[in-house]
Amino acid sequence: MDKSNEIGIKEQEAATTTEGTVVEMKHVKKAFGSKEVLTDINLTLKKGENLVVLGRSGQGKSVTIKCISGMLLQDEGEVIVLGAEVKDLSEQALKDLRLKVGFLFQSGALYDSMNVKDNLEFPLIRGLRINDQAELDNRVQEVLEGVGLADAGDKMPSDLSGGMRKRIGLARTLILKPEIMLYDEPTTGLDPITSREISELILKMQKKYKTSSIIITHDMDCARITGNRLMIINEGVFIAEGTYEELEKSDNELVRSFFIK
């Protein structure tokens, strides 16, 4: 697809789907011992939007999305997800929220002892208590076809390439039909062609499942393809926000450094 057309279509889709807020972080701080990782995080994710978070290693990117998912709780500030303050949720309410918030880890986080089909059925059985085999089969086949691996059900994770593992990891997250997707470096370790395929798949899944997503990445091609909006974090605070094209032309030297090829 032509780059200008790709960006235009993406912006049009965002404009028609971004009514409402699904995540809001207000003045969030998080420290580990004496090391303050998040110093003043303010972030809003709109419904149907792909938000890319850029930043060098150790600046607080992963801690930010772990606070959103409830894997970590903030020390100060507010983290409101789908209308609920995460730190105030009961254990059961937090479990229920996590069914609506998909988290795709760098590794894909597949169970090596299970084949692909069993990996995909696992969250349905454990999370949604679905035991009807026909429904399980239908859901598994739907997501496998969605990620372009319709015939991979009997394969073991060890039989999969890096790109295939990413696709299956994405399928296992999407099988619960979450409202929000959190991607932690989705293209890390992949060759440029496979990285682009995964980036385009993120866009496809956004449209198909109407998800709202936060994408942490160092891959600027991934950022350009997937992001309706970009934010740059430095020393635990966001220093810039805008479209890819706006930030590429920034007067801020640190912001521009991300776009130097």
CATH number of residue 215's parent domain: 3.40.50.300
Note down the domain range covering 21.
3-37+56-237
- Which residue from 196, 184, 175 is spatially nearest to 116, judged by alpha carbons? 175
49: left (phi over 0), alpha (psi -120 to 50) or beta: beta
Report the alpha-carbon distance of residue 251 to residue 261 in Å, rounded: 17
Question: What whole-number distance in Å separates Cα of residue 257 and Cα of residue 66?
Answer: 26
The two three-digit tokens of residue 81, written as one number: 């997800």
Q: Phi and psi at residue 12, in whole multiples of 5°?
A: -65, -45
- DSSP annotation of 228: S
The pLDDT, as a whole number, for residue 151 is 93
Contact 85, 131 (CB under 8 A): no
Give the pLDDT of residue 17: 40
Tally Cβ neighbours within 10 Å of residue 95: 12
Q: What is the pLDDT of residue 4?
A: 47
Q: How many domains does the chain have?
A: 1
In a domain, 190, yes or no: yes
pLDDT of residue 12: 43
- Give how far Cα 151 sits from Cα of 160, 174, 261, Å: 12, 18, 38
The tens place of each residue's pLDDT in the chain, 261 residues long, gives 455 445 444 544 444 344 599 999 999 999 999 999 999 999 999 999 999 999 998 899 999 999 999 999 999 999 999 999 999 999 999 999 999 999 887 666 788 899 999 999 999 999 899 999 999 999 999 999 989 999 999 999 999 998 899 899 899 999 999 999 999 999 988 899 999 999 999 999 888 888 999 999 989 999 999 999 999 999 999 999 999 999 999 999 999 999 986
- Structural domain contains residue 19: yes
pLDDT of residue 189: 85
Is 96 contained in some domain? yes
Residue at 152 is within a domain: yes
- 3-class state of residue 23 by DSSP: strand
Residue 205 forms part of a structural domain:
yes
CA distance 27 to 66: 16
255 part of a folded domain:
no
Residue 253 lies in a domain: no
Residue 155 counted as domain residue: yes
Over 167-192, what HEC string results?
HHHHHHHHCCCCCEEEEECCCCCCCH
pTM score of the predicted model: 0.87
